[in-house]
Amino acid sequence: MNKKRPVTFRPFKVPRYAYDKLRICRRCGRFTALGEERCSGCGRATLTSLEKQATAIAGRKMHTRLLLIVLLTLAAVYFGQSLQQMALCGAGGAVLAGALYYMQRKVRQNENLFALNELLGRNIDSIKEGLEINRQEAVAVLREDDVLAYEKLREISILLRGDRISRQRVALLHGFQLRKDMNLELEQLLLKDFEPLLAEYIGEIAKIRPELIKDRTLRYVKNYEAQILEMDKGETILISVAGAAVRLKRYALLYSGLIGRYIQDLPKDRFLRLSRLISASPYEPWNGLDLKVAEVREAKYRWDPEF
């Protein structure tokens, strides 16, 4: 019986930089990667992006430095013993303040990045702590709303890329009915060791979104081929993956061994694709795959006009 539930995920866009996902509470300094409006620590709506915070810090530092020059200049003028001395100190201070202000304007963008780097470096432990709290929040809602839990884990995984989060996400995805129109990912979910749920997920992705089957996934499948074969529908998974691999000539060449082992059972369209790839480049090192294709074509599709 199929226990998978049809679900809909909220739209999700991967930010260009991972730190774009982080926000900091201006009040209590807690970090979060989730999209909540209020800080989970102090409950106030004072969450701001790290870039904004870094820009504010850099701006404050620059203003302080400029202000110090102005104050020192004023002190120099105050202690002047003659009008000439006072004018000289005032003019000198103004030139120095002007020079610093000019330089600050020129380096503003760069200083913002230095401030951001410093903010992240100084608070790395707080960031880790904030992300762990986020992860616990995701786990806490798991029983009531597994879709929400998945969405939260998906956001955290932009920053935390360990196997622990990936394993939890794969386990959650196992309960959902996957569709072509869903915002799915695969490479980010690959684990270091073998996981049957992940192998099942790869098999499903190979059927509905073969374009997501790339080098790292094919390497994973190749490495754990024996374990996948021991699974209930292991062979079906491997056939789907082999079918997805013939999408590109590069994959067909690199994983010719894997494809060759399941060539007998490839669906007709995938076999036709492979056959055309080989016919278009007969002198490539196909590692015996061309011969296997010829055999299968002879045995199964001898009278098929498409071949």
Partner 1 sequence: MISYVILGITFLYAVIQISIYASRRRKPLTRDDIDERLLAALNGGTGTRE
Smaller CB separation from partner 1, 80 or 196: 80
CB 166 within 8 A of CB 147: no
**Does position 69 bind partner 1 by CB under 8 A?**
yes
**Residue 217 backbone phi and psi in degrees, to 5:** -70, -45
Of 111, 200, 204, 290, the one binding partner 1 (CB under 8 A) is 111
**Does position 212 bind partner 1 by CB under 8 A?**
no
Place of tokens 């798991």: 142
Of 67, 113, 229, 291, the one binding partner 1 (CB under 8 A) is 113
Of 4, 5, 10, 117, the one binding partner 1 (CB under 8 A) is 117
Closest CA to 202 of 164, 175, 172, 234: 234
Residues 250-269 that bind partner 1 (CB under 8 A): none
Where are the extended beta strands (E) located within the chain? 5-6, 23-25, 31-32, 47-49, 176-177
Count of Cβ atoms closer than 10 Å to residue 86 Cβ: 15
CA atoms within 13 Å, Cβ hemisphere of 303: 0
Residue-wise burial string across 9-26, b where 16 or more C-beta atoms lie within 10 A, e elsewhere = eeeeeeeeeebebbbbbb
Smaller CB separation from partner 1, 8 or 126: 126
**Does position 107 bind partner 1 by CB under 8 A?**
yes
Of 57, 76, 148, 254, the one binding partner 1 (CB under 8 A) is 76
Q: Which helix (H) or strand (E) holds 204?
A: helix 196-208
**Does position 72 bind partner 1 by CB under 8 A?**
yes
CA distance 28 to 46: 9
Identity at 234, one-letter amino acid code:
G
Tell me how far, at minimum, the Cβ of 289 lies from partner 1, in Å.
Answer: 27
**Does position 190 bind partner 1 by CB under 8 A?**
yes
Smaller CB separation from partner 1, 61 or 273: 61
Of 11, 37, 78, 282, the one binding partner 1 (CB under 8 A) is 78
Instruction: By CB under 8 A, name the binding residues for partner 1.
Output: 17-19, 65, 68-69, 72-73, 75-81, 85-86, 88-89, 92-93, 96-97, 99-100, 103-104, 106-107, 110-111, 113-114, 116-117, 120-121, 124, 127-128, 131, 159-162, 187-188, 190, 216
